[in-house]
Homo-oligomer: A and B are copies of this chain.
Amino acid sequence: MPKKIFFTPGPSALYFTVEEHLKAALKEQVMEINHRSAQAEAYYRQTEENLKALMNIPADYRVLFLSSATEIWERQLQNFVTQKSFHYCYGAFSNRFYDFATDWKLSPEKAEAPFGQLPDTNPDLIPSDTELITMALNETSTGVAFPTESIYTIRQKHKEALIAVDGVSALPVTDLNFSMVDSVYFSVQKCFGLPAGLGVWIVSPRAIEAAKSKLQSGQSIGSYMALPNLVKNAEKGQTTYTANVLGIYLLGRVAGDMLEKGIDTIRHEARYKSALLYHTLEQHPELTPFVSEKHLRSQTVAVANTSGSSSVIIDALKAKGLVIGNGYGQYKGKQIRIASFPTHSKEQIELLADLINQL
């Protein structure tokens, strides 16, 4: 059977070099070496270096490797919040961070919008004593993008609070000014085209200080996964636990491939592919882009309402070997979601658009 092409919003198609890197990993015995060996430390440092170069991350920020973005939601609450966090909620994933804070018996506040829209980002609506402000660059469930300019405006107004940015299906395609925020995280099965099982957490010096302050005030910030411990080990190119060394290795290799291609080229292609996809969705009689405000449309995850059951178009494409995503949660059966990640070539997106046009 020929392989399918996955346009699902994560897990998605592997980055096109992953198979070759997996073979190299077997040869270098990446999966067998000790996670505290010089060889593993070199992988950690190379991956950190490549990510910093690729996304222009300030030198004094730390790159940490955890298991998933889900874990990093918890770690941020543990380390940064004693009582008050503020969450922009506009879809399944941005809502979830708020829900975590509730489950952890904190006192979170939020600004909400219906699925497909963005909440009011006026920074005056955020209480001045908020410890942590959270938003998702890309709401993967709805295809809404949070404009980076709005983040920088919030930063100007709230200099004391930490700002945490969910970059899950946006980075490295979205051009984020890391120096304006304190905590950025993503998982690797989206834009980086890697097998799931690794979360990346990038923290500012201020974020690290905030965790230390909370600890010094006598509160628990967790144990081995407490931020000061993670940072202490990261300085040695190590994790506090036996990490997914293969995942770190593959991420470093793929980030290196992206550097070679050039982030500008990747972003340029993303704009082209996105424009083509939304044009296709707009022209199709049975499809309507879910996000009506064009400047809020994600470049990497396009979502559309279907006039009938979404399974018709999903199944028709699957029969041709192309797998697209279903609507999320209550939108299952009513929407389609299409990823155009860096591994998806212009030609693949053109093929997909052609096939959609023919349906």
**A residues within 8 Å of B by Cβ?**
3-4, 6, 8, 10-14, 18-19, 22, 26-27, 29-35, 66-71, 73-74, 96, 99-100, 103-105, 187, 189, 194-198, 220, 222-226, 240-247, 325
Contact = CB atoms under 8 A, between A and B. Distances in A.
Contacts of A4: 29, 32
Given A99-B223, A226-B103, A241 B31 contact: no
Nearest to A25: B195
B243 A196 contact: yes
B35 A197 contact: no
Given A11-B242, A196-B243, A223-B103, A67 B71 contact: yes
B26 A22 contact: yes
A111 B195 CA distance: 42
Contact of A242 (B3, B33, B189): B189
12 contacts: A6-B29, A8-B34, A11-B34, A66-B67, A67-B197, A73-B223, A103-B220, A104-B223, A105-B220, A196-B242, A197-B198, A197-B243
A100 B12 CA distance: 36
B11 A225 contact: no
Contact of A100 (B8, B223, B245): B223
Given A4-B29, A195-B245, A242-B189, A74 B11 contact: no
Given A14-B32, A104-B223, A222-B103, A247 B22 contact: no
Closest 5 CB pairs of A and B: A197-B244, A67-B67, A70-B241, A31-B195, A103-B223
Contacts of A13: 32
B11 A196 contact: no
Q: Which of A14, A29, A100 has the most CB of B within 10 A?
A: A29
Contacts of A225: 70-71, 74
Contacts of A194: 31
A325 B194 CA distance: 31
A279 B82 CA distance: 56
A212 to B, nearest CB: 14
A35 B12 CA distance: 10
Nearest to A229: B103
B70 A68 contact: no
B26 A12 contact: no
